[in-house]
Amino acid sequence: MALGDGRIAPGAPGPGRHVHTHEDEGIYVVAGVLTVEVGDERHEVGPESFIWLPREVPHVFANLGHEEVWTLGLISSPGLTGMFQAGRVLRLPPRPSGPCGAAGHQPALRSPSGGGTTSALTAC
């Protein structure tokens, strides 16, 4: 297991949408609100909340708010930290979504460049 903390500036992206094949990941939000997509579900994870990111499920997160987000991350395999640094995470294209602003549609996280892989995230 590995445990670490991180601070994400307002409007800052996290890693692009990706999947871990061998590791589970958990994020505890100490302060701020972190927007997280796990599979097809979107969550606004607020202070003193925890979200589980199971292996084999695509996920992405970003700070879409106006306040810094402070997180504590738990990874089931300490080797995963090196995988992020080396860029060996399998990146997936953004999940398909309807047009932004459509009635009853919750905006999805998307790449501001519209490219095939998500490198930075914004709200629609």
Delimit the domains of the chain by residue range: 2-91
Domain 2-91 has CATH 2.60.120.10: yes
Neighbouring C-beta atoms of residue 15, cutoff 10 Å? 16
What is residue 64's predicted lDDT score, i.e. its pLDDT? 96
Q: Higher confidence at residue 58 or residue 85?
A: 58
What are 74-98's pLDDT values in tens digits? 988 755 555 555 444 444 455 444 4
pTM: 0.65
What is residue 66's predicted lDDT score, i.e. its pLDDT? 96
Please say whether the beta carbons of 112 and 119 come within 8 A: no
Kindly state the average pLDDT of the residues 58-64. 96
Please say whether the beta carbons of 47 and 29 come within 8 A: yes
